[in-house]
Structure 1
Amino acid sequence: MERIYISADIEGIWGNADSAHTMKEGAAYEQYREHMIWEVNTAIDAWFANGAKQVVVNDGHGGMDNLIASRMDERAELIIAHGAYKEYGMMEGICSDFDGACFLGYHCRSNTPGVMAHTIWGAQVRCIHINGEEMGESGINAHLAWYYGVPLLMVSGDSLLKEQLQEELETDVQFVETKRTINSLCAQNCSRLQLKERYAQATAAALRMRPVIAPKDFYTIDITFHKERNASFVARVPLTERLDACTVRIQGSDYDELYRRMRFLIKICDAF
């Protein structure tokens, strides 16, 4: 496993539990950003310690410009852009050249008691179903990695996310528990020393795994918004079918194209 792709979010990061502080206007945003930088660097170091030759990191939270280039591990590469200019959003930069993918600081899907649980854009999206099964960001993004033939090796986040991964994925991945879920805005963090050891152990174990990918031949993606007006607006886009007041459907065999279309629909749903 010489080339590793990392997609990093903030809600599942160690030390972060309050959604009021994960956006730039939040009172503790700079502190939460520091936690994210530290944990991503911890994971990068673990990958290089276990033989990686290249690690590419994509910031996947909010505006997707939370990581500071000058503060990142000097051996890693960082994809720089505001999220509006990332066609693939959380998965910008993924391609078939990578030997494995790693999702850091991920969280549970919407309408669950996971820490700061939501799906892509919590203020607008109620839920997303792929082939009839509700998916969180881990499952949605895993399918894109699999589309490119890249196995998902490791995920980190709160304890409830580990249970959801078993529901959403058809293969085992190494999991790093950053905190124990108490409720959606309360968590018990492990110590930093424990977390560093967990990353070291999980990375080493991931490299011993037999990589598995589980793509589908055909995909039906149902996006349910909180508001009727959002579904009404995006239903105007060609190849988008409206199922009910708040739900639209896109479908096809090319998951790459569907992923980009899904992201576009969600981005424009409130553009009025």
Structure 2
Amino acid sequence: MEGITGLVDAEDVQPPGRDYERGRVLMTEDTNAAVRGAYDAGATAVLVNDAHGPMRNLLPDLLDPRATLIKGRPKPMGMMEGLTSEHDAVLCVGFHARAGVLGVLSHSFMGHEIEDIWLDDQVTGEIGLFHAASAAYGVPVALLTGDDAACTEMTAWDPAVATVPVKYAKDRFAAQLVPVAEAQAAIETTTLTALQNLPTLPANRTATRQLTVRWQSASVTSHLTAIPGVTRQDDRTVTVEADMLHLYRLFNLFLRVATAVTTNPPYC
């Protein structure tokens, strides 16, 4: 939701923020633009996974009726719930830059609780992990929308992914906005073009990858080392090796443990 058209502040993207309800409408409208583009490109089915915060932000009565919605949490695969190797493409709508990057509402999964994430030796955030896990299914990421920092981050991972900047970061809670109608028209037309030029991507579900996470709290690291295979590099850093899809599911378990251990609100 942080990368949705017009949204720049926690009040826009978190209940009970004063502009959260309007943010839900904008999130649904950005999603609808991608759904329209997908069907214009010849899609026969579109599955939408509400993947922000409480994961019950999208408004079902305003969502394009041709789309099927997954809503609520917890979900074993979190932001990737519902994705299988049978899908032809992934569309990432409303994404944000990783922690430490000067982007609108930038963070990695948990506000400031996660300081850094590395996949193998490459620093990453939500975009990189999502892209790697999608690739493990053999499903290409075709589109990403968000602020210019998120688009730049996606392009660094995979220049073949089409991006739509719907705002340009001025600071972490400020942006120059693309007009709503213009941004959503760009999402729709770029989705159409992206889906007409999909790359062929072989699935690779068995290759071993290494995930390393540096937390703000040493308490989180202490608890995570109880999970088999998780080792501690230092007081605030853990690492684990597995195939990419297992790592992604395991990381969602990390988030649930960290949420139980900490009480810090995001975006502080």
Q: What TM-score do the two structures reach when normalised by structure 1?
A: 0.90
The residue aligned with 1:203 is 191
CA distance in structure 1 between the partners assigned to 2:192 and 2:36 by the alignment: 12
The residue aligned with 1:67 is 58
CA deviation vs aligned residue, 1:141-198 (integer Å, no higher than 9, x gap): 111111111011000000111221232x244101011111111111111112321331
Structure 1, unpaired ranges of 5+: 1-9
Alpha carbons of structure 1 residues 135 and 159: separation in structure 2 relative to 1, 3 Å: same
- AA aligned to 2:254 is L
The residue aligned with 1:58 is 49
Identity over aligned pairs, percent? 28
CA distance in structure 1 between the partners assigned to 2:193 and 2:60 by the alignment: 29
The residue aligned with 1:223 is 213
Q: CA RMSD, aligned part only? A: 1.6
CA distance in structure 2 between the partners assigned to 1:159 and 1:72 by the alignment: 26
Alpha-carbon offset, residue 200 of structure 1: 3.1
Alpha-carbon offset, residue 20 of structure 1: 3.3
CA distance in structure 2 between the partners assigned to 1:245 and 1:38 by the alignment: 43
- AA aligned to 2:59 is I
The residue aligned with 1:269 is 258
The residue aligned with 1:108 is 97
CA distance in structure 2 between the partners assigned to 1:120 and 1:183 by the alignment: 19
Q: What TM-score do the two structures reach when normalised by structure 2?
A: 0.92
Q: Is the 8 A contact 2:50 2:56 kept in 1?
A: yes
Secondary structure (helix, strand or coil) at the match of 1:17 reads coil
Secondary structure (helix, strand or coil) at the match of 1:182 reads strand
Structure 2, unpaired ranges of 5+: 262-268
CA distance in structure 1 between the partners assigned to 2:207 and 2:104 by the alignment: 33
CA distance in structure 2 between the partners assigned to 1:33 and 1:270 by the alignment: 24
CA distance in structure 1 between the partners assigned to 2:219 and 2:128 by the alignment: 27
CA deviation vs aligned residue, 1:126-154 (integer Å, no higher than 9, x gap): 12110011112111011111111101100
CA deviation vs aligned residue, 1:95-144 (integer Å, no higher than 9, x gap): 01100001000000001110000011124211211001111211101111
Secondary structure (helix, strand or coil) at the match of 1:179 reads strand
CA distance in structure 1 between the partners assigned to 2:158 and 2:45 by the alignment: 27
The residue aligned with 1:122 is 111
